[in-house]
Amino acid sequence: MSTNEFDDSDQIRLAVRGDERALARLLQSNYAMLYRYLLKVTMNKALTEDLVQETMLKAIERIRTFKAKSKFSTWLIAIASRLYMDEMRRKGRERKWRTDEQALQAIRFEALMAKEEWPHALDALAGLPPNIRVPILLKYYYGYAYEEIAEWLDIPLGTVKSRLHNGLNRLRKELSENEETDSGAK
């Protein structure tokens, strides 16, 4: 066993028991390795810096849960990888939301240019709050499954179904009121 491995295991034991200096030494000795790893994963310096800091904070919060079944560096990489994947999922949801909004605007424009009856439907859809409109778009415009929508929006499956049910009822009511108004005006 090399001196460095012995030192690390001593530092880990002390850190798990609450020795802040030992934990600081461990984090400092693994900082460069973690930074290089995340830089390769993200290919983004700013994101890497944020994730390294967040990983270090998680390690500080969770040091007492470290079981030493793997190397300390491996544990840090696992934390960093989970944080990165969470960040990508969050950004994916944001990107999906922007795409949905742009798609709605494009459809509205095309319908107006073609002088179709779509504007009423689009106006009714746009009048829904985002927490109802997004599940409706994801389900009925893009065809995603309830489970996917629940995961992406980080809400329970029952909430997705409820929002879809309530949203469709509101759309039907809005569209039937517009039909009555239109037919009454002719």
Q: pLDDT value at position 6? A: 40
Q: What is the pTM of this model?
A: 0.49
Please give, one letter per residue, the 3-state secondary structure of the chain: CCHHHHHHHHHHHHHHCCCHHHHHHHHHHHHHHHHHHHHHHHCCHHHHHHHHHHHHHHHHHHHHHCCCCCCHHHHHHHHHHHHHHHHHHHHHHHHHHHHHHHHHHHHHHHHHHHCCCHHHHHHHHHCCCHHHHHHHHHHHHCCCCHHHHHHHHCCCHHHHHHHHHHHHHHHHHHHHHHHHHHHHHC
Tens digits of residue pLDDT in 60-76: 898 888 887 778 888 89
Calpha distance 129→18 (Å, rounded): 47
Q: pLDDT value at position 17? A: 85
Calpha distance 92→114 (Å, rounded): 32
The residue among 4, 29, 14, 31 whose CA lies nearest residue 66 is 14
Show the low-confidence residues of the chain (pLDDT under 50): 1-6
CA atoms 19, 65, 154, 159: torsion sign? negative
Q: pLDDT value at position 1? A: 36
